[in-house]
Structure 1
């Protein structure tokens, strides 16, 4: 259960090596979260992430999870909920893909869609059902500003996030009144280890800034969080730009 200050005492991160996921875990551990479960493909990186969080004083375990094997989600994730109470689930997994390659290799594009959307639908429904059975909890879904409007530069990735975003919003509506909160997080370009060396972009953010926004959103029981917040206004304007003009914008 959440403590008297509304902070989750237990956290499940789907995508256990995600920089945003780990930054969020660190923030929550500093705010009384004591149990963390990191779900991801077994790897040295996953074990290093667990060791890092244990050093902060948390009880941390890893479990095998793969977005591309939805047939295993009920057993893996449902099994975890059968063993213990989980206050918050953070869906932080996903792949950016490579637009040029994915256009040339349709199977690569399909992998992006299966990871970011169909894998998330499966995991999201399993976790939502378990949280509802508990009668409480938060499901935080990492979407992306890329899903707000199709762009030539990343429409394969963007379409997968658009599907995820719509799914998460609908799931939140379906869970109204059950005690389960669904929060959709829409970051802009995230400057991280994986994006090091790429050109700077307007309104970019960091894993730590996204983590701070998640913690604030949980406290406020927000349904949608933009990071940075100014993206809400920017995207509201861009959604209404005529398509011929939008094609010529450097976005």
Structure 2
């Protein structure tokens, strides 16, 4: 169960090598989180990240999880929940892709959509049902401001995040009053290994800043978190720009 300050004592990360997820885990371990599950494809990186969290004092376990293997989600995640109640699930897996390449290679584009949306829907529903059964917990979903309005420069990634965002909001409404919180996190450009080589944009942020915002959102039981907060205003304005004008913007 969460402690008196709302901090989770147990955490399941779907996408165990995500830099944002690991920054969140480190921050929560420094508070009261003592049990962490890192779910992801087996790799030296996953084991290395688990060991780093163990060095912080947490009981960390890894579990083989493939976002694209939706048929396995109930079995794999069911075994994790069978080990005991979980206070928080952080859905953090996703692919950015390469827009120019993915437009030329529809199969690559489909893999982004399947990972970011289909895999998230499957895993999200499995976890939501388990959280509802135990009667408490938070499902935190990493979305993106890219899902707010499709842009020419990344509409494949953006459309997949738009679907994920809408799914998470609807799931939150469906679970309202059950004791389960669904929180959608919408970061802007995050400086990580995934975005290395890309030009930074205004209001760029870091994994640590996103982690801090997640912690505050949990404490406040927020439904939506923007990182940085100024993006709420920026994206509200962009949503209402006429399409003829929007397509000429250098974004």
Please state whether the residue corresponding to 2:164 is helix, strand or coil: helix
Separation of aligned partners in 2, 1:155 and 1:198:
16
Aligned to 1:148: 148
Separation of aligned partners in 1, 2:91 and 2:206:
17
Provide the aligned C-alpha RMSD in A: 0.6
Separation of aligned partners in 2, 1:113 and 1:170:
19
1:179-221 superposed Cα distances (whole Å, 9 cap, x missing partner)? 0000000000101123233212111110000000000000000
**Map 1:46-195 → 2, pairs under 5 A:** 46-195=46-195
Unaligned ranges ≥5, structure 1: none
Separation of aligned partners in 2, 1:192 and 1:172:
28
Please state whether the residue corresponding to 2:74 is helix, strand or coil: helix
Deviation at 1:83, TM superposition (A): 1.8
TM-score by length of 1: 0.99
Aligned to 2:213: 213
**Map 1:3-42 → 2, pairs under 5 A:** 3-42=3-42
The structure 1 segments of at least 4 consecutive aligned residues displaced by more than 6 Å after TM superposition are none
Deviation at 1:82, TM superposition (A): 1.4
Query: Is the Cα contact below 8 Å between 2:189 and 2:200 reproduced in 1?
Result: no
Separation of aligned partners in 2, 1:192 and 1:98:
15
Deviation at 1:5, TM superposition (A): 1.4
Please state whether the residue corresponding to 1:194 is helix, strand or coil: helix
Separation of aligned partners in 2, 1:200 and 1:40:
28
Aligned to 1:250: 250
TM-score by length of 2: 0.99
Separation of aligned partners in 2, 1:66 and 1:124:
13
Unaligned ranges ≥5, structure 2: none
Separation of aligned partners in 2, 1:205 and 1:5:
26
Separation of aligned partners in 1, 2:56 and 2:83:
24
Alpha carbons of 1:197 and 1:98: their partners in 2 closer, same or farther (altered >3 Å)? Answer: closer
**Map 1:208-247 → 2, pairs under 5 A:** 208-247=208-247
Aligned to 2:199: 199
